[in-house]
């Protein structure tokens, strides 16, 4: 089934309207995006942390802070998109500041002190694995140009496949600029979710178990200068997410063989 058909079926079934569905869907996003960045919290531990405020035993506090910071940033991102807030470099910096609120660091550079908890652009060069990112003196211009282009395009009439591609392209391009010292991956995935929420689309999740394939898709897209590689990876993630949500919902609605709920005692 094509993605457009899956989205229609997802909406027709009213999955998003199920009690607490959005809350736990957002927590799932928190879980997977922070796992990609090194958190070891399980999804259940993330749920207990967000819903009850209880940190898991035996896990570093910074990992819990990473999850709660991301949850605050995700709520702000979704609320901003639904309010049709103007997509700007300032809004993006607010998102990044929330992502790094309790785990960010202060960097002393020859150009001054940079507090990564403020969403300030980096003033140094960075690498991640085998990837090199644009020189720091290009970061502000590249980020501003990207956000302006996205802000103009998002207001244009687009088909659903074009809306999804816009969100995936935004994700790829921002993480490839790497404008911040920390939280670039999380902020880029939140930018993708902002665009999806703007169009009232189900929110994409990059599943943590697919981290290696995700990183390879980013690398291959840059090396081959072919955005379709990353789009295809994200379409696959999105398709699988919707398919699983639909299957779970339809299974829940099936009558049990015994005619109802079975007590296990």
Separation CA 31–CA 68 (nearest Å) = 10
* 189 assigned ligand-binding residue: yes
Confirm whether 123 is domain-assigned.
yes
pLDDT band, very low/low/confident/very high, at 265 (cuts 50, 70, 90): confident
Q: What is the pLDDT of residue 44?
A: 97
Q: Which residues of 116-140 are buried (b: 16+ CB within 10 A; e: fewer)?
A: bbebbbbbeebeeeeeebbebeebe
Strands 106-109 and 112-115: antiparallel
Residue 30 has φ and ψ, to the nearest 5°, of -55, -45
Confirm whether 259 is domain-assigned.
no
Confirm whether 201 is domain-assigned.
yes
Separation CA 67–CA 26 (nearest Å) = 11
* 185 assigned ligand-binding residue: yes
Q: What is the mean pLDDT of residues 64-80?
A: 98
* 54 assigned ligand-binding residue: no
- In the numeric block, the tokens 């500041």 are attached to 97
Catalytic site includes residue 178 = yes
Q: What is the mean pLDDT of residues 27-45?
A: 97
State pLDDT tens for residues 151-168: 999 999 999 999 999 999
Question: CA angle 34-108-129, nearest 5°?
Answer: 45
* 231 assigned ligand-binding residue: no
Q: What is the pLDDT of residue 259?
A: 58
CATH number, domain of 12, equals 1.10.3290.10
**Percent of the chain at pLDDT exceeding 90:** 84
Confirm whether 138 is domain-assigned.
yes
Question: For the chain, how many structural domains are there in total?
Answer: 1
Mean pLDDT across the chain, nearest whole number?
A: 94
Confirm whether 38 is domain-assigned.
yes
Q: Around Cβ 220, how many Cβ atoms within 10 Å?
A: 13
For 95, the domain range is: 3-249
DSSP H or E segment with residue 125: none
Confirm whether 37 is domain-assigned.
yes
Confirm whether 41 is domain-assigned.
yes
CA proximity to 20, closest of 42, 55, 44, 47:
47
Cβ-count burial of 157 within 10 angstroms (0-12 exposed, 13-18 middle, 19+ buried)?
exposed
Q: What is the mean pLDDT of residues 76-98?
A: 97
Confirm whether 258 is domain-assigned.
no
Q: Which of 32, 70, 71, 178 is catalytic?
A: 178
* 187 assigned ligand-binding residue: yes
Q: What is the pLDDT of residue 19?
A: 83
State pLDDT tens for residues 180-214: 999 999 999 999 999 999 999 999 999 999 999 99
Q: What is the pLDDT of residue 76?
A: 98
Tell me if 194 sits within 8 A of 81, measured CB to CB.
yes
Separation CA 120–CA 168 (nearest Å) = 24
């Amino acid at each position: 089934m094509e993605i457009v058909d899956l989205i229609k079926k997802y909406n027709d079934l009213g999955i998003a309207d199920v009690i607490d569905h959005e809350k736990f869907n957002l927590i799932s996003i928190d879980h997977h995006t922070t796992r990609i960045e090194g958190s070891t919290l399980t999804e259940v531990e993330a749920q207990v942390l967000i819903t009850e405020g209880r940190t898991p035993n035996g896990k570093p506090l910074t990992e819990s802070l990473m999850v709660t910071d991301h949850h605050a940033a995700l709520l702000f991102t979704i609320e901003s998109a639904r309010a049709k807030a103007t997509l700007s470099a300032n809004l993006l910096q607010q998102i990044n500041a929330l992502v790094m609120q309790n785990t960010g660091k202060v960097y002393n550079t020859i150009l001054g002190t940079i507090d990564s908890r403020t969403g300030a652009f980096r003033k140094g060069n960075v690498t991640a694995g085998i990837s090199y990112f644009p020189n720091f003196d290009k970061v502000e211009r590249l980020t501003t140009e990207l956000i302006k282009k996205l802000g103009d395009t998002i207001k244009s009439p687009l088909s659903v496949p074009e809306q999804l591609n816009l969100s995936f392209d935004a994700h790829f391009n921002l993480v490839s600029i790497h404008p911040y010292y920390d939280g670039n991956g999380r902020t880029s995935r939140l930018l993708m979710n902002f665009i999806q929420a703007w169009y009232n689309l189900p929110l994409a999740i990059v599943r943590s178990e697919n981290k290696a394939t995700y990183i390879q898709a980013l690398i291959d897209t840059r090396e081959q200068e072919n955005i379709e590689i990353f789009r295809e990876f994200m379409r696959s993630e999105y398709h699988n997410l919707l398919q699983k949500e639909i299957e779970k919902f339809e299974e829940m609605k099936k009558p049990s063989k015994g005619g109802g709920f079975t007590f296990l005692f």
